Chain A
Amino acid sequence: MKKLSLLSICLVLMAVLSNCSKDNTGPIDTIYPEINTATNDAFPKQCSIVKRGEKFTFKALLSDNVQLGSLNLDIHHNFDHHTHSTELEECSLAPVKQPAKPFLLIKNIPIPTGLKSYQVSTEIEVPANIDPGDYHFMIRLTDKEGWQTIKGLSIKIE
């Protein structure tokens, strides 16, 4: 009898403890935002080519299940082939070379608040006096909860 009562005390305590915080505050968001560069008008795409001394328009469709956060763009050289893209398709690379004046762009692109989907379209000027060659076009997108999606495209600057 004594054992039984002890055992039941244990079970009751376990039950109490396991019920301590069942105060569900609704489902949490566990979904990463998406960067879509597959649409027809999206630019650049994997292996795209842009020209020095000219402007191009960065276009991509951004979306999230709840709310988009912020967008950052980073263009850096890959003359040493130190990284590869995040994409399936490989692009042909020029031979490894020493950078002299590589193009570097680190830019935040504002996204209007409260959106689930946003078509980004922003002009980027490529200076005329930079090294041509292989570059990475890194897109970093967060949503409001802090999930980040990274897309690293290989591009060429001619």
Chain B
Amino acid sequence: MKSFYVLLFSLLFIFQTGFGQDKHGLPDSTLKTTPPPSARQLKEVVIKDKRLQLHQTEESLNVITINSDFIQRNLGGSLMKTLERLPGIKTIGIGSGQSKPLIRGLGFNRVVVIDKGVKHEGQQWGADHGLEIDQFATAEVELIKGAASFIYGSDAIGGVIDVKPANAAPKNTLGGSIDLIGKSNNNLYGSSVNVFGRKEDWFFDSRITYQNYGDYSVPTDTVFVYDYAVRLHKRNLRNTAGRETGLHLNTGYIKEGFRSVFYLSNIYSKSGFFANAHGLEPRRVNTEMHDASSRDIQMPNQQVNHFKLINRSNYQAKGHKLEMELGYQRNFRQEFSQYVNHGYMPPVYPDYMSISPQLEREFDKHVYSINLRDMMTIGNHKLTAGFNSEYQDNAINGWTFLVPSFKQATAGVFVYDKYKINEQVLLHGALRYDFGQIRMFKYTDWFDSELITGSTTILEKLTRANDLNRSFNSLVWSIGINYNPDQFLIKANVGKSFRMPIAKELGANGVNYHYFSYEKGDPTLSPEQSYQLDLSFGWNKDRWSVLISPFYNYFPNYIYLNPTANHDFYYGAGNQIFQYAQSKVLRYGGEFHLKYKVTKNLSTELLGEYLFAKQVSGDKKGYTLPFSPPASALVNLTWSPESVKHSYFSIDYRITAKQNNIVPPEKRTPGYGLINIQAGTKFGLCRQQLMLSLQAQNLLNTKYLNHTSFYRLIELPEAGRNIIVSLKVPFNIPLNKQKNRNQ
């Protein structure tokens, strides 16, 4: 905590001294006077609100848009944790800084994350991998709940999370902001510094984010790994500390009718895994070493680096808007752990191995993407025709095997028409064709496995994956309607989505020792298909607003990792066989959102979500799908006093039902209630509007288990009380007042 204050004060100092130098801003005589910042901000808000309202009534899919204010108010350990307040959104999390999205119970490769127009490609398939997005660099997030393959291609079965960067600043401005963050639970301190500027047509926007956190604490001093009692030092989960850095530089050219922007970013994180159990495997630890510091990151740990270079350009000509995104990204993830001779591995790690004995797994992914779109307006039709293509090169390393190396190419074309019948009715129709090819490469164990039959012993290096070449194609469609009679909003959308099987599902034949599972792929899997009906009913009156969004979803061939009743003693080294299979799946559920303005300063909100999933064929007929979030409801009361402008005090009570609807190897999770408090204000200092936000998450320090957490299976409770303080200090650097005066 001490270092946090040091950082806070030193940054405040920089900020103050920065102001002293304001008057010597950029020496450019062509710049014009800056519009007053407060007017600019006010204007922006108004436009945004109208745009969002319009968006709701013009999209037939279920769309939620949130902005950086929401992120500031509800700041969680990662962007996805922050979004978890929204109905229908959950996360699969590991530790306090890593999590991935779960939309209406679907996650992993069934949710598409778009960052700056390009599909974000990390290691979506793994439960212990987070999403490499810097939430401080996020200006707006658009969430589509429901199948959206017709626009986004393969994987957009569960939904889409579209992360948008800040818009370019107005002309002739130079400014920025400093964010300071502190969290009590894991002693996090961090900062994000942003500097942007724009002359006439050229602009830049840069940001550096740094966060450093210690082990997170839980409301218990003992956790049980099976029946073995693990004492926690100061109630901290051993070795869950982490670091994160984010570097961003956006620059581009904007002119009436044309814009081209380059986005360069690098996100790095290093975080530890709970030391006393790796997956389901209990680990004996040197408590003295681990407990010496709550901030050190020992093994096991992971390091992830995500580099991105994206160009987004668009050109507007008469009746056409042409858009293009070009992207390159590299996701490099390493998992470090002491060598343990699992199964038939030699007891001592051999000297001749070129792989470090500490490098358990490594995934190196290079992705090249291109998107092209032409948006045409023809009478009452808004027609979009587009093309998306992506090429992936995936290499692996490390002394364990989970997924083979593979190369993958996909391409798709689509047309989407939005037809405005009258002021109240909009029709949507879309058609898309995709083609994909995946080439997987052979992997052979580096050690001998032993097979004893009678008196003969066979020693052999097992082949874990074979060369495999498969191609897929898919035709998907979507139709929808918007009907908006005065205060009502009615939407319906029905469509088909798809997902190409991933390398692990097709070809893996390896043991995940941390889960005691021997995972067997199926090279004959067909592309997963999904049919979904989405409805939304909304009603807006002066003080009331209600939105109900039910959905119904059917998969004829959901790809599922089925834990079988058998063990394999040779390829599986004695572990339970988990076999990839396809089954028919039925899902339905919905969300509910009610807002009521009690008085001018007091408003209340009620959010609810419910999900039901069931496998209706196959080996697990009658069971649900893994990671099915339980039903939950959130009641909020917000007080925004008139006397102190831009201030709020808000309390959330979330009640989560128990989850008894489980499938092997899950455990029933009891229900719980949580209280979160958010408060914040804006105040002036040196002509700038500072934004101070306070949060208390899990106010009552409730001990609970999260059904969709990675640590659920070893019964690790979630984080205890967490007080979060964040301060946003925006600044504007006035440009050359004196020279302007001389002109």
A28 within 8 A of B: yes
Chain B residues numbered 556-594 whose CB sits less than 8 Å from any CB in chain A: 562-567, 569, 573-576, 586, 588, 590
Binds A, one of B312-320, B359-367, B628-636, B662-670: B662-670
Q: How far is the CB of A46 from chain B (nearest CB, A)?
A: 10
Specify which chain A residues have a CB less than 8 angstroms from the CB of B569 in the assembled complex.
72, 106-108
Identify 7 residue pairs between A and B in the complex whose beta-carbon atoms are under 8 Å apart, listed by A's number: A20-B588, A28-B623, A30-B660, A83-B281, A85-B228, A87-B227, A146-B576
User: B170-212 toward A: CB 8 Å interface, digit per residue (1/0)?
Assistant: 0000000000000000000000000000000000000000000
Q: Are A140 and B574 in contact (CB under 8 A)?
A: yes
Closest to B347 in A: A99
Chain B residue at minimal CB-CB distance from A78: B284
Partner of A72, one of B281, B567, B616: B567
Instruction: Give chain A residues whose Cβ lies under 8 Å from the Cβ of B566.
Output: 69-70, 142
Q: Are A106 and B664 in contact (CB under 8 A)?
A: no
For chain A residues 116-158, which have a beta carbon within 8 Å of chain B? 138, 140, 142-148, 150, 152
A82 to chain B, nearest CB (A): 5
* A17 and B550 form a contact (CB under 8 A): yes
Q: Which residues of A contact B281 (CB under 8 A)?
A: 83
450-504 of chain B: CB within 8 A of chain A? 450, 485, 488, 490
A108→B574 contact, CB < 8 A: yes
Task: Name the contact of B548 in the complex, choosing from A3, A10, A106 (C-beta under 8 A).
Answer: A10
| Pair B665/A86 contact, Cβ less than 8 Å | no
Is A108 touching B567 in the complex (CB atoms < 8 A)? yes
- Number of A interface residues in the complex (CB < 8 A): 51
**Does B284 lie within 8 Å of A84, measured CB to CB?**
yes
Contact B228 A142 (CB under 8 A): no
A107 to B452, CA, bound (A): 10
B637-677 interface (Cβ within 8 A of A): 660, 662, 664-665, 668
Q: How many A-B residue pairs have CB under 8 A?
A: 139
- A71 contacts partner chain B, Cβ-Cβ < 8 Å: yes
Given A86-B225, A145-B664; A77-B574 close (CB under 8 Å): no
**Chain A positions 39 through 78: 1 when the CB is less than 8 Å from some CB of chain B, otherwise 0:** 0000000000000000000000000000001111110110
Nearest CB on A from B620, distance (A): 8
**Residue A92 interfacial (CB < 8 Å):** no
Contact B562 A146 (CB under 8 A): yes
Closest to A104 in B: B344
C-alpha gap A80/B357 in the complex (Å) = 15
A108 to B518, CA, bound (A): 14
> What's the Cα separation between A83 and B284 when bound, in Å?
5
- B283 at interface (Cβ–Cβ under 8 A)? yes
List chain B positions with a Cβ less than 8 A from chain A.
Answer: 225-229, 280-284, 338, 340-341, 343-344, 347-348, 450, 485, 488, 490, 516, 535, 537, 539, 548, 550, 552, 562-567, 569, 573-576, 586, 588, 590, 612, 614, 616, 619-623, 660, 662, 664-665, 668
Min CB gap A15→B, angstroms: 10
Tell which of A30, A82, A108 touches B340, judged by Cβ atoms closer than 8 Å: A82
B488 engages A6 (CB within 8 Å): yes
B348 near A98 (CB under 8 angstroms)?
Answer: yes
Check B282–A83 contact: CB distance below 8 A: yes
- Is A82 a contact partner of B338 (Cβ separation < 8 A)? yes
Contacts of B665 in A (CB 8 A): 146-148
Task: Considering the complex, give the chain A residue whose CB is closest to the CB of B343.
Answer: A106
Cα–Cα, bound, A3→B540 (Å): 12
Closest to B574 in A: A106
- The docked-state distance in angstroms from the alpha carbon of A74 to that of B283 is 17
Q: How far is the CB of B203 from chain A (nearest CB, A)?
A: 46
In the complex the two chains form, what is the Cα distance from A98 to B349 in whole Å?
A: 11
Choice from B227, B341, B612, B664 contacting A148 with Cβ under 8 Å: B664
The answer on a CB contact under 8 Å between A106 and B344 is yes
In the complex, the answer to whether A145 meets B338 with C-beta atoms within 8 Å is: no
Q: Is A94 an interface residue (CB 8 A)?
A: no
Measured between beta carbons, the chain B residues less than 8 angstroms from A73 are 574
User: Is A82 within 8 A of B283, CB to CB?
Assistant: yes
A14→B550 contact, CB < 8 A = yes
Chain B: CB-nearest residue to A148: B576
Q: Indicate if A1 sits at the interface (CB-CB under 8 A).
A: no
With a CB–CB cut-off of 8 A, which chain A residues contact B516? Answer: 140, 148, 150
Residues on B with beta carbons closer than 8 Å to the beta carbon of A106: 343-344, 569, 573-574
- In the bound assembly, the distance between CA atoms of A45 and B575 in angstroms comes to 22
Using Cβ atoms and an 8 Å threshold, which residues of chain B touch A14? 548, 550, 590
